[in-house]
Amino acid sequence: MDMRIISRATLKRFWQKHPDSAAALQAWYADVQHAAWHSPGDIKQVYRNASFVAHNRVVFNIKGNTYRLVVAIHYESQIVFIRFVGTHEAYDKIDVTSI
């Protein structure tokens, strides 16, 4: 069962404002769309630098750690919810556990 990602539009809006992120975000999207993640261990096998925080939040480094992507994952239903995509400066201003 492939992962469902909600929502690609959030990523697209970001890469339209930050064109240098487009290839990395599109590659992440394609990878995740065909993944079957049942636990954080499944993610770590592919994304060694992913960080896991409370409430099933996962932080991905995008484009060589230029940007951050935060998702909430519901493993049972195989859904990834995009919660945040932004610069490090913007990331530093959010509470990653509650977005």
pTM, whole model, 2 decimals?
A: 0.93
Mean pLDDT for the stretch of residues 74-92: 95
Take residue 6 and report the two structure tokens written for it.
């909600």
Mean pLDDT for the stretch of residues 34-49: 94
Give pLDDT, residue 1.
Answer: 67
Domains of the chain: residue spans and CATH: 4-91 (3.30.2310)
Integer angstrom CA distances of residue 6 from 1, 9, 28, 69 = 16, 8, 13, 13
